[in-house]
Amino acid sequence: MEPNKKVNVKDLFLNLGAIVALYTVVINLINLLFAVINSAYPQINNGYNYYGSQSISWPVAIIIIFLPIYIFLMWLLEKGYKIEPERRNLGIRKWLSYITLFLAGLATAVDLVTVLYYFLDGQDLTTGFLLKVLSVLIVALGVFMYYISDIRGKLNSSSRKIWSIVTFIVIVSSILWGFSVLGSPRSQRLVKYDEVKVMDLQNITNAIQSYYSVNGNLPKDFVEISTLNYGVKQIDPQTQKPYEYIVKSATKFDVCADFNKESMNNGREMSLAFPAPYGGTSWTHPAGRHCFSQSIDPNMYTKFAPVR
């Protein structure tokens, strides 16, 4: 054994690369689990929360790329250790391993303290909250147990394979759970189209209200709205057809669009835009064509208020 063997560039970058890849996978696995839990068990506080779509695209993409990188770098390291066993005692490897142990242990402790605080403080331990705590606990403990076993020299080729298989099963199961709750990539694309449509209809509504504040009446059609250069998008980005604007009376109108999916989740309102009381309008919608009824309060525009 050569305990004082010097660290070369290869050792430095392989060990740093493996740790960075590990942290990246762990952080994004937790982000993935939190996104799925938020969607499956949304927290509602007096109806004022904003619930946008929960996307798992980024964490899934990052995990798919960085997990193989981590496995490959660890394989290279283990291959080198078989040739030169003394390199297991390199300072860079020990430092990074102990830092990882410290962070994993700290995350576990903070996780447990959070649960105890919520319990002692009398706060509701909701299903979503407990699942998040359990997710962090399992991931942090898994990392901690692996690295403590590695430092103590209790890992061999067979046990490393078992750890790899368990990790693979956990990550694949998490991704599949995410797709089962939030839908396939195609389904999420349709939801994003719906988000854009609601935002466009909101901007159209704001432009119509601004038009009324200037002219004292509703515009007849999109052409009149365009004359004031409000810059609103009038075309559905998915169908490439114009949105619908229907004047119902002197102060009432509808804005309509075709939606792909219902903006509901587990019976809870999941507005794709700011719900009431923000703006006084709920922007939830069913699948298919739907119109949002809007009204103008003339008393808000005193310049054009009728003389009594």
Domain boundary among 124, 152, 183: 183
Number of domains present in the structure of the chain: 2
Residues 35 and 140 in one domain: yes
Q: Is residue 1 part of a domain?
A: no
Note the Cα 288 to chain centre separation in Å: 26
pLDDT, tens only, 112-161: 898 888 888 877 788 889 999 999 999 999 999 999 999 888 888 889 88
- Is 53 found in the same domain as 75? yes
- Domain-embedded: residue 121: yes
Burial 251-264 (b: 16+ CB within 10 A, else e): eebebbbbbebebe
pTM above 0.85, yes or no: no
Asked if omega into 277 is within 30° of 0 (cis), the reply is yes
On whether both 24 and 172 belong to a single domain, the answer is yes
* Domain enclosing residue 103, as ranges: 9-183
CB-CB contact of 188 with 182 (8 Å):
yes
**Tens digit of pLDDT for each residue in 189-225?**
888 899 999 999 999 998 898 888 888 889 988 888 7
304/104 Cα distance (integer angstroms): 64
For residue 191, give both structure tokens. Answer: 């939801």
Contact 49, 164 (CB under 8 A): no
Within-domain flag for 2 = no
How many CB atoms neighbour CB 202 within 10 A?
A: 18
Domain final residue pick, 183, 217, 239: 183
